[in-house]
Amino acid sequence: MAMSLTSADTIDVHAHAVLEATMGAAGPHGPELSHDELPVFRVGQYELHGVRYRDSVFMEPDLRIAAMDKAGIDYQILSPNPLTYFHFIEQTDALQFCRIHNDALVDMTALYPDRLGAFAAVPMQNIDYAIAETERAVTELGFLGPYIGTDFGMSLNDPALDRLYERLTELNVPLFIHPAPANIDGPSGDKNLQQFDLDIIVGFAASETIAVCTLIYGGVLERFPQLDVCLSHGGGFSGYAFGRMALAAKKRPWATGSLKQDGAFEELLHRLWFDVHVHSDEALELLKRQVNVDHLVFGTNFAGWDQQQHNVRTEAGLYTDNARRLLRALS
């Protein structure tokens, strides 16, 4: 029997792709990928040195499938590279890039439809465009939902986003959120994070934690009870900061009456989904104490610097049914 999302024993929801067709698709912002011995990937004013994208798992589906087999992963959902969200460039340029990206990504997954699915890039600087591209990606290309960053010029609880959230519930697809480094095509961010890769080591976790708080404190989950949101890396520091976050929901002056009710914060936190790519057993156990374990899904950051270096079939299999529920793929 052919494998599929509905029959796979292991599902990886955290796997980025890089697409040759998108090179230069954002005009002066790139992206550009050199052919040098030590490659450089330029996006806007950001340069990533030494990561070989060409002739690698990121760009070659045959290599990806072989690596998935070795890692024990049956099915993988490919997502945009966070370096190329382009959430701050001119709106029409962003829409053009996202359309080129999503067309190229569906072509990649079509080579192995029994092993690969996709999440869509969307232009968050224009919510009408974001809704339109989400609709196209889901209804025409067969994508499983949109994939966005944490920073695009408005907070996740901004009322301007309510139309997008409402459309996601109508389309019956989840929203995936994964941070990107600052200083690509938008604000420069905290200079303290611009050394030692602290932007991805610490900055990502801070952004994910802020996203969790914003979705809960800002009333998004209350306004949209059918909305499913999945955050990368276990929601950042949420497992560790749970007590402080829950206490603030009861005691800070901005807390709403509904949020101050006993168990309200915990109930809303249990609505959120998280991938379990948190890098240690201790961190995962801490996360499991605070969130809904039935809303945990498996992720690897496949081929990235922090991918697990062993066969993950046993541990990934623990979360397969959760992933199918999140991705609306129950048989």
Q: Per residue, what are the HEC states of 32-92?
A: EECCCCCCEEEECCEEEECCCCCCCCCCCHHHHHHHHHHHCCCEEEEEECHHHCCCCCCHH
232 and 82 Cβ atoms separated by less than 8 Å: no
Residue pLDDT, tens place only, 285-311: 999 999 999 999 999 999 998 899 899
The share of the chain scoring above pLDDT 90, in percent, equals: 88
| CATH code, domain with 130 | 3.20.20.140
- Looking at residue 309, its pLDDT comes to 87
151 and 179 Cβ atoms separated by less than 8 Å: yes
Burial (0-12, 13-18, 19+ Cβ within 10 Å), 153: exposed
What does the alpha-carbon distance between residue 13 and residue 327 come to, in Å, rounded to a whole number?
10
Residue pLDDT, tens place only, 184-221: 888 888 889 889 999 999 999 999 999 999 999 999 99
- Looking at residue 18, its pLDDT comes to 97
Q: Is residue 6 part of a domain?
A: no
Q: What is the mean pLDDT of residues 13-22?
A: 98
For the sheet with 11-17, list strands across it: 11-17, 75-80, 116-118
Tokens in use for 46? 């950001």
Tokens in use for 53? 């994208």
The whole-angstrom distance between residue 47's C-alpha and the CA centroid of its chain comes to 21
Residue pLDDT, tens place only, 61-107: 999 999 999 999 999 999 999 999 999 999 999 999 999 999 999 99
Q: Is residue 331 part of a domain?
A: no
Q: Is residue 316 part of a domain?
A: yes
- Range of weakest confidence among 123-127, 171-175, 184-188, 200-204: 184-188
Q: What is the mean pLDDT of the chain?
A: 95
Residue 182: pLDDT band with limits 50, 70, 90: confident
- Looking at residue 184, its pLDDT comes to 87
> Would you call 230 helix, strand, or coil by DSSP?
strand
Asked whether the predicted pLDDT for residue 244 surpasses 90, the reply is yes
Q: Is residue 329 part of a domain?
A: no
Q: Is residue 2 part of a domain?
A: no
Q: Give the residue numbers spanning the domain of 122.
A: 11-323
Asked whether the predicted pLDDT for residue 1 surpasses 60, the reply is no
Asked whether the predicted pLDDT for residue 3 surpasses 80, the reply is no
- Range of weakest confidence among 43-47, 115-119, 145-149, 260-264: 43-47
Q: What is the mean pLDDT of residues 159-187?
A: 95
- Looking at residue 330, its pLDDT comes to 82
Residue 331: pLDDT band with limits 50, 70, 90: low
179 and 233 Cβ atoms separated by less than 8 Å: no
- Looking at residue 99, its pLDDT comes to 98
- Range of weakest confidence among 32-36, 170-174, 288-292: 32-36
Asked whether the predicted pLDDT for residue 36 surpasses 80, the reply is no
What H or E segment, with its residue span, contains residue 285? helix 281-290
- Looking at residue 194, its pLDDT comes to 86
> Would you call 290 helix, strand, or coil by DSSP?
helix
> Would you call 175 helix, strand, or coil by DSSP?
strand
**Total domain count for the chain?**
1
* Angle subtended at Cα 100 by Cα 88 and Cα 41, rounded to the nearest 5 degrees: 60
Q: Is residue 38 part of a domain?
A: yes
- Looking at residue 169, its pLDDT comes to 98
Tokens in use for 175? 């929203």
Other beta carbons within 10 Å of 139: 11
Q: Is residue 4 part of a domain?
A: no
- Looking at residue 101, its pLDDT comes to 98
- Looking at residue 135, its pLDDT comes to 98
Q: Is residue 257 part of a domain?
A: yes
Asked whether the predicted pLDDT for residue 5 surpasses 80, the reply is yes
